[in-house]
């Protein structure tokens, strides 16, 4: 089985109070017995610290038999810095304007040089001038641009249930994308 990640990303570039909101989500996940409360070395990055998978995770995925219970890397890691979350292989960099429906991928991805350091959260369509948070544009493949991301290591193959993702989004107060990364 290959290593992969399922990354839940709120669809807002600059999430207000992102660290405090992440703590709220972690408390909820712990209360639901989806993750363990204490950090352990079950992560892949950030000194390999994460919240390990817990038995309640079986209830929030479509294929619980594919969860990484017996793998050393199985935990939730949280990203608190501005990051571009895209699949690592096969990402097409295609995007469309929600207003005029024209392809704007090349210009949008070129604008990430302004977005990444936080000079702007927005992108303007070069075709019609429509301006919105970069996450407001249409992407053919799931991706996200935010200062908050929840990386579930080796959970991607199990596939989150829509109801869980809806509840996750409600707790964040923003719609979410799930980005699958194959390592």
At 2 the pLDDT is 86
Beta bridge partners of 103: 96
CA distances from 6 to 34, 38, 153, 177 (A): 15, 21, 7, 10
Q: What is the pLDDT of residues 93-102, one digit of tens each?
A: 999 999 999 9
pTM, entire model: 0.96
Listed as ranges, residues in the chain with pLDDT below 50 are none
DSSP H helices, the chain, are 18-31, 105-110, 112-115, 162-172
At 89 the pLDDT is 83
Residues with Cβ within 8 Å of 8's Cβ and at least 6 positions away in sequence, in order, are 149, 150, 152, 160, 165, 168, 176, 177, 178
Q: What is the pLDDT of residues 22-33, one digit of tens each?
A: 999 999 999 999
At 117 the pLDDT is 95
CB 39 within 8 A of CB 24: no
3: three-class secondary structure by DSSP: coil
């Amino acid at each position: 089985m290959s290593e992969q990640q399922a990354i839940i990303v709120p669809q807002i570039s600059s999430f207000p109070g992102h660290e405090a909101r992440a703590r709220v989500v972690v408390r909820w996940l712990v209360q639901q017995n989806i993750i363990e409360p204490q950090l352990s070395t079950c992560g892949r990055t950030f000194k390999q610290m994460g919240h390990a998978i817990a038995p309640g995770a079986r209830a929030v995925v479509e294929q619980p038999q594919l969860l990484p219970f017996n793998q050393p890397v199985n935990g939730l890691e949280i990203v608190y810095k501005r990051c571009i979350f895209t699949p690592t292989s096969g990402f097409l960099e295609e995007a469309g304007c929600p207003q005029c429906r024209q392809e704007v991928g090349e210009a949008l991805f070129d604008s990430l040089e302004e977005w990444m350091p936080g000079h702007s959260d927005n992108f303007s369509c070069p075709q019609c001038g429509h301006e919105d948070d970069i996450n407001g544009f249409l992407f053919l493949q799931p991706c996200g641009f935010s200062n908050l991301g929840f990386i579930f290591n080796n959970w991607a193959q199990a596939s989150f249930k829509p109801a869980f993702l809806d509840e996750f989004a409600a707790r964040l107060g923003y719609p979410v994308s799930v980005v699958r990364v194959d390592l």
